[in-house]
Amino acid sequence: MAMPADSAGMARVHVASWQETYRGMMSDEILDDPEFINRRERFWAAALNDSRYAENRAAVAESNGEVIGIAMSGPSEVEDEKVDAQLYLIYLLKSAHGSGAGQKLLDAVLEPEEAVGLWVAEHNPRAHAFYRRNGFIPNGLEKEGDGVREIWMIRPAHSE
């Protein structure tokens, strides 16, 4: 699980993965904002220290002592009676794609017995394939923010 000392590395991965993944979908103004990294660092410091986030689960993937991936789940922010929790985010540096780190992150922040929902960018086929392999299916909800259309996917609860 993630520790408060991980917040700077988590912010770095958060920003770099957005820049790698959303370039062309999201405005360069957002992705290249010089304050982006500072805002993410403040977010992660709060997420790992503040009692408001006590129900969340956060994890990091590391390689050679460096954070290469991040994930966080918690109570659903979407009124969907079919889910118990929400995967808020999972980001992995492009250089770590295919390493298995993404699966380990997902497994670290989600419980098999939970029905889970998540938002995913409509035009992110790699993420869609990953989530489908993990039992997530679109349910028809959509939203748009920062120029990116997202779809809501859910994974029913299952037992091992």
Mean pLDDT to the nearest integer, 38-64: 96
Is there a domain that residue 160 lies in? no
- For residue 41, what is the domain's CATH number? 3.40.630.30
Strand arrangement, sheet containing 116-121: 57-63, 66-74, 85-92, 116-121, 148-155, 137-145
Element housing 104 (H / E): helix 101-109
Residue 8, pLDDT score: 96
At residue 23, does pLDDT exceed 80? yes
Quote the tokens at residue 132: 């489908």
Reduce the DSSP state of residue 42 to 3 states and report it.
Answer: helix
**Number of structural domains the chain divides into:** 1
The pLDDT tens digits of the residues spanning 136-159 come to: 999 989 999 888 899 999 999 875
Residue 159, pLDDT score: 57
Q: How many CB atoms lie within 10 A of CB 67?
A: 20
At residue 129, does pLDDT exceed 80? yes
Residue 145, pLDDT score: 84
Mean pLDDT to the nearest integer, 120-133: 95
Position with higher pLDDT, 7 vs 79 = 7
Is there a domain that residue 25 lies in? yes
Place 117 in a pLDDT band, splitting at 50, 70 and 90: very high
Rg (CA), the chain: 15
Range of the domain at 142: 4-155
Taking the model in full, what pTM does it have?
0.92
Residue 1, pLDDT score: 87
Is there a domain that residue 73 lies in? yes
